[in-house]
Amino acid sequence: MKKVLAIDVGGTKLIHAIINEKGEFLSEVGKTSTPKNISELEKTFKEVITKYENEVDYIAFATAGAVNITNTKVDSSTPNMPAGYNSLDFAQLSKKPVYVENDANAAAWAEYKVGAAIGENNNITITLGTGVGGGFIVDGRLLRGKSGRGGEVGSMKIQGRGRTCTCHRKDCFESYASGVGLKKTAEEIAQTDEIFKQSIYKSKTANEITTYDIIAGLKENDEYSKKVFNIWKEDLTVGLINITNIFDPESIIISGGMGEFINTKEIENAINSEIVVSPVKVKLAKAGNYAGMIGAALLACEKF
């Protein structure tokens, strides 16, 4: 059975493990922090690879950023990574074949192969964290587009409220449905709605209210927090309706930190009452925090 050294590259940390072609872990998960300059980063990659490459068939990276169509290089600017990251030729890092995939795509593949969407040939994994990521499985294959950059659902414009996203564009799905989006909605409602005057947070200024405050406020039955969270859910639902109508998927898998605050059945019902395609299931992700590594390892086994 094929073995893969899988490495997940995030802005703050690198994690790695040996994974077989069934997605099973054959080693402990190693962690280091992500070096802040490109030569240190490359050196760290080489150290990890040198240590394990004789034990494995392939090397697989799950990484932030858009990955090119040949799965060899990061093709976009990646603000959280060291400058020069998108010049790095991953294939040169090892004598074994090297495969690179975007982390959201890799996580979606893991959900499809060993997680919450097994056997569902049309499914979508949406990651709700600081931002919003998406991975799309169409007829059993990962949607990558002409250049490998496909799946940028966070940049879908869903509203006309004129909110500016961290990408400086207007009305991106990400600017509403992410954790940051929840905070922005909290600010918006604090500034415009009388309901804030009765809130447990009324002594704060609008921009002091955090995502965590709103989640905590729900448990306190704070009407302001409930209103903010409901608007956040409606905005999330609009985006999920859109992709359901286009992809007609069997399921939408919700991944990422915000997922734990969602009632999936409620979101599922809200989507299904609005769509023109057949009903979709909404489920929480199962492949866990290591989904990126697992998916990249499995994709490498498919490719090579």
Which residues sit at the interface with a second copy, rule CB under 8 A?
66, 76, 120-122, 134, 136, 138-139, 141, 143-153, 155-161, 167, 169, 238, 241-243, 245-250, 274-278
Minimum CB–partner distance for residue 181 and a second copy (Å): 14
Minimum CB–partner distance for residue 278 and a second copy (Å): 4
Minimum CB–partner distance for residue 132 and a second copy (Å): 12
Indicate the residue among 83 and 277 with the shorter CB distance to a second copy: 277
CA-to-CA distance for 32 and 54, rounded, in angstroms?
A: 21
Contact 167, 78 (CB under 8 A): no
Indicate the residue among 44 and 102 with the shorter CB distance to a second copy: 102
Minimum CB–partner distance for residue 137 and a second copy (Å): 11
CA-to-CA distance for 57 and 72, rounded, in angstroms?
A: 17
Indicate the residue among 11 and 288 with the shorter CB distance to a second copy: 11
Indicate the residue among 172 and 182 with the shorter CB distance to a second copy: 172
Q: What SS3 state is found at 231?
A: helix
Minimum CB–partner distance for residue 281 and a second copy (Å): 10
Minimum CB–partner distance for residue 176 and a second copy (Å): 10
Question: Which residue in the block uniquely carries the two structure tokens 């949607």?
Answer: 143
- Going by C-alpha positions, the residue among 164, 169, 44, 46 that lies closest to residue 96 is 46
Q: What SS3 state is found at 179?
A: helix
Percentages helix, strand, coil for the chain (3-state, rounded to 5) are 45, 20, 35
What is the CA 99 to chain-centroid distance, rounded? 19
CA-to-CA distance for 262 and 255, rounded, in angstroms?
A: 11
Indicate the residue among 277 and 284 with the shorter CB distance to a second copy: 277
Indicate the residue among 20 and 245 with the shorter CB distance to a second copy: 245
